[in-house]
Amino acid sequence: MSDYLLIAKVISSHGRNGTVKIVSSFDFKEIFSKLEKIFMDFFGDKKLLKVENIEEGNDCFFLKIKNFDSESDSEILIGKNIFVDKNDLLELPEDHFFVHDLIGSIVFCNDEKIGKIKDVLKFPANDVYVILDVNNSERLIPDVPEFIDKFDPKKKVLILKKLDEYYEEDDED
């Protein structure tokens, strides 16, 4: 398993001093509050970069990396993913989980295995879990209290509340 966690992506340069605009992979923006170092892939290797400054925008963050001091310096960063060392992560509040903890988790409802979480989709209202069920079909379950009973990140098990009344099969034939 990787020692790194994807937290954001550089989408453009911002200004002339080398600052870049990034979009977060998390709804939990506090992950950026004490960010001092990040990692980016360069030629297949993760390179350590020092964070000089980070500021929150409306729907993004503005990141200044040490020694990237002009717009031309920061052009190489556009499109790159930003990672952190998993050991440097802050603790999330109760009932908040990292996407990497959710993906691959086994999903149960009424003591019956439903499937496995394949992906987590981010939407303004709430996240949606893409579950690959036992018939190899995708099921979409919103991450809301009405649907989710509990999640155990150590065991990678998600327990749903009574499910049959909450979703219908998607007929894509």
pTM of the model: 0.60
pLDDT in tens, 4-32: 888 889 999 998 999 999 998 766 677 78
- Stated as kind and residue range, the H or E segment containing 71 is helix 71-74
Looking at domain 99-160, its CATH superfamily turns out to be: PRC-barrel domain (2.30.30.240)
Instruction: Say how far apart CA 127 and CA 129 lie, in whole Å.
Output: 7
pLDDT in tens, 20-78: 999 987 666 777 877 899 999 998 899 999 999 999 888 889 999 999 999 999 999 99
Contacts 24+ apart (CB under 8 A), 153-158: 153/97, 153/98, 153/101, 153/102, 153/105, 156/101, 156/104, 156/105, 156/106, 157/105, 157/106, 157/107, 157/108, 158/102, 158/105, 158/106, 158/107, 158/108, 158/117, 158/129
CB 50 within 8 A of CB 66: yes
Q: Where are the domains of the chain?
A: 4-87, 99-160
**Distance between terminal CA atoms of the chain?**
36
Please state which CATH class domain 4-87 belongs to.
mainly beta
Q: To the nearest 10°, the Cα dihedral for 162, 165, 169, 170?
A: -110
Work out the pLDDT band at 91, boundaries 50, 70, 90: low
pLDDT in tens, 121-144: 888 888 899 999 989 999 999 988
Work out the pLDDT band at 1, boundaries 50, 70, 90: very low
Domains 4-87 and 99-160 are alike in CATH topology: no
- In which residue are the tokens 């939990």 written? 28
Work out the pLDDT band at 92, boundaries 50, 70, 90: low
pLDDT (mean) for 109-128: 88
